[in-house]
Amino acid sequence: MNLTELTITQAHQGLLKRKFSALELTKSFLDRIKERNKKIFAFLTVCEDFALSQAKKIDDLLLQKRELPILAGIPCLIKDNILVKDIRCTAGSKILSNYTAPYDATVVKLLKSQGAVILGKANLDEFAIGSSGEYSAFGKTLNPHDFTRVPGGSSSGSAAAVADNLCVFALGSDTGGSIRLPASFCGIVGFKPTYGAVSRFGLIAMASSLDQIGALSKNVEDAKIVFEAISGKDELDSTSVESKISNFKFQISNLRIGIPKEYFIKGVDPAVKKIILEAIKKFEQMGAKIKEISLPHTKYALATYYIIMPSELSANLARYDGIKYGKSEIQNLHPPKFSKKTLAGKKSKIKDLLDVYLKTRGKGFGDEVRRRIMLGTYALSRGFYEAYYLKAQKVRTLIREDFNQAFRKVDVILTPTCPTLPFKIGEKIKDPLSMYLSDIFMIAVNLAGLPAISIPIGKCKNLPVGLQIIGKGLQDYKIFEVAQTFEKIAHE
Amino acid sequence: MISKKEVEHIAKLARLGLSQTEIKKLGKDLSSILDYFNLLKKVDVSKVEPTSHSVLVKNVMREDEAKKENLDDVNELVAAAPERRERYIKVKAVL
């Protein structure tokens, strides 16, 4: 038995039946990480000692024949924009390369309380900004299915690690597809919960009205187990809400599936379209009712998103000022450190507070982060606020309303997760708009705050294709039910 | 096309120290992205309320009571500051 291939339930059963110890389980992952991470670079930090000591504790509990929660002893990986106390947390950025988390995120606290073993921190696009994993300041993650291709972003390391058996499951965050896109590109399951269903306390904020933490896993059941563990109202996040436990009696013959005509347009890779349509046909043959629906404001979603997200991001990233924590140019105050070169290449010393800000931020942020900070600052600046930010918030209402209308007629909506197959490294990095288009089928879901999952549905030339299932707000559990059924049908 | 002066103004508002080459490049990038946003001009939103949060939660309150924090945690937060003296965070002159 290869321990690194197990799902959560299989690993849990193995621990209970003493087929292997928690220490053996963790060690087999640590060995595999040592061998594989040099190549695919999914981990930014491996916390070997911490993981081993966590695993030992679980073995002690097993010896005492205590009942164990399902995640006890299960090795997992945390995206490096989620805080784990006393462990470095970089958000994939130079500006936080020296930052150690002083406390646990609520989701981490919840995982630890079950006894999950944290193996390390996952690589990501800087501040979770990017669709390919290429924007990490520490180096890019590779797609385990094809090393010449991107794993998708921004939860690049989380997805690649699950696909490459470097952890059982991983946490990621999704602002405009950052869990679902890499899950699709790496051939695994990625779930973005309803906005607010999971506490964001301890998640390094990108765009606060869109960010949500969720799981990347080997199958739908695992995604559900992790969601059960991390979801719930948290007094430290006032936007958090309780997701409804579903009593959804599920029979595929009663299921109404919506297919939005705006999502099957030209621009979708024919190979992707074919695989998705074949899957939908299978569900229809099993008795599901397929309905064509319309989400008329879909064509405005990308523009709306690329105003709201950078606006919120520019405000959130204002906190990296070189004063409170993280990398700072303030030390250049002191002789003899004057000789450090500034961006412009001239030798200069820090003059005043403004200078500390300009130099710290000018040096600490990568190109794409700067581009979006500039875009957001522009959209929020005097004279442009109404034309951009306020307008986008109003169109956001129309996009939400589209989904509300649709969910009167259907139970779930199906779309491709991404219009293309995993693309080549370097292919889109020069052209920001073409990179942004990768997220086009996912961002409306974040704007409307809905739950959605990407499940692997087929392959084209060894490259995975993901199917996105979108549900009504707070019906996270219903999505799991539907996704588990589809998962079974698709692999029959 | 967004002017060089405008880019410099925005960079200052954003507190980003940028080189001249970068200002030129960002001007081009921003212009093409802003052109794309013109698409939204076609949408009639005259009777639409803005959405700031997708899940409608309102006025989440708690009792206005100071919570006792662990002093070690507080010290750890202060210790993260790049420049400090004792338990104070040092800042360069504002003016």
Q: Which fold has domain A1-320+365-492?
A: Amidase signature (AS) enzymes (3.90.1300)
- What pLDDT sits at residue A336? 42
Catalytically annotated residue among A93, A154, A184, A243 = A154
Residue A256 backbone dihedrals phi, psi, to 5 degrees: -105, 115
A310 contacts A384 by C-beta, under 8 angstroms: no
Judged by CB atoms closer than 8 Å, whether chains meet at A303 and B53 is answered as no
- Give the neighbor-by-neighbor strand order of the sheet with A256-260: A43-46, A117-122, A75-79, A169-173, A213-217, A189-192, A452-460, A463-470, A412-416, A256-260, A289-293
**Of A99, A300, A325, which has the smallest distance from its Cβ to B40's Cβ?**
A300
Q: In angstroms, what separates the C-alpha of B39 from chain A's closest C-alpha?
A: 7
**Of A194, A355, A395, which has the smallest distance from its Cβ to B43's Cβ?**
A395
List Cα–Cα distances, A486 to A288, A468, A479, in angstroms: 11, 11, 10
- What pLDDT sits at residue A352? 87
Residue A338 has pLDDT above 50, yes or no: no
Handedness of CA A135, A141, A146, A147 (dihedral sign): positive
Q: In angstroms, what separates the C-alpha of A33 from chain B's closest C-alpha?
A: 30
Vertex A331, ends A325 and A336: CA angle to 5°? 160
Mean pLDDT confidence for A32-44: 98
Residue B15 has pLDDT above 50, yes or no: yes
- What pLDDT sits at residue A431? 81
Mean pLDDT confidence for A7-23: 97
Query: Residues spanned by CATH 3.90.1300.10 within chain A?
Result: 1-320+365-492
**DSSP per-residue letters across A9-54:** HHHHHHHHTTSS-HHHHHHHHHHHHHHHHHHH--EEEE-HHHHHHH
**DSSP per-residue letters across A289-346:** EEEEE--TTGGGHHHHHHHHHHHHHHHHGGG-SSSSSS--SGGGGSTTGGG-B-TTS-
The beta strand positions in B1-95, using DSSP E, are 84-85, 88-89
For the ranges A156-170, A233-247, A369-383, A455-469, which has the lowest average pLDDT?
A233-247
Quick one: tokens of A195? 């906005």
Residue A233 a catalytic site member: no
- What pLDDT sits at residue A246? 66
What residues 104-133 of chain A have any CB closer than 8 A to a CB of chain B? none
β-strand pairing of A412-416 with A256-260? parallel
Beta bridge partners of A464: A459
Q: Which residue of B has its CA nearest to A98?
A: B80
Handedness of CA A56, A61, A63, A67 (dihedral sign): negative
pLDDT band for position A349 (50/70/90)? confident
pLDDT per position as a tens digit, A142-190: 999 999 999 999 999 999 999 999 999 999 999 999 999 999 999 999 9
Catalytically annotated residue among A21, A27, A28, A79 = A79
The helix-helix angle for A106-114 and A220-230 (nearest 10°) equals 110
Residue A28 a catalytic site member: no
Mutate to test the interface with B, among A97, A236, A374 (most CBs of B within 10 A): A374
The architecture in CATH of the region B4-42 reads Orthogonal Bundle (1.10)
Annotated domain spans of chain B? 4-42
Residue-averaged pLDDT of chain A: 93
A446 contacts A210 by C-beta, under 8 angstroms: yes
pLDDT per position as a tens digit, A103-137: 999 999 999 999 999 999 999 999 999 999 999 99
Judged by CB atoms closer than 8 Å, whether chains meet at B17 and A390 is answered as no
Name the more confident of A251 and A270.
A270
A101 contacts: CB under 8 Å, gap ≥ 6: A83, A84, A85, A86, A87, A88, A89, A202
Q: In angstroms, what separates the C-alpha of A266 from chain B's closest C-alpha?
A: 19
**What's the rounded Cα separation, in Å, for the pair A411 and A159?**
28
How many beta-carbon contacts under 8 Å exist across A and B? 177
pLDDT band for position A209 (50/70/90)? very high
Residue pointed to by tokens 């209402």:
A397
Query: What is residue A459's three-state secondary structure?
Result: strand
pLDDT per position as a tens digit, A63-92: 998 889 999 999 999 999 999 999 999 999
Residue A240 a catalytic site member: no
Q: What percent of chain A has pLDDT over 90?
A: 88
pLDDT band for position A260 (50/70/90)? very high
**Of A102, A302, A314, which has the smallest distance from its Cβ to B73's Cβ?**
A102
Q: Which residue of A has its CA nearest to B74?
A: A102
Judged by CB atoms closer than 8 Å, whether chains meet at A100 and B32 is answered as no
Q: In angstroms, what separates the C-alpha of B68 from chain A's closest C-alpha?
A: 15
β-strand pairing of A117-122 with A75-79? parallel
Residue A339 has pLDDT above 60, yes or no: no
Vertex A176, ends A408 and A117: CA angle to 5°? 105
Residue A347 has pLDDT above 60, yes or no: no
pLDDT band for position A247 (50/70/90)? low
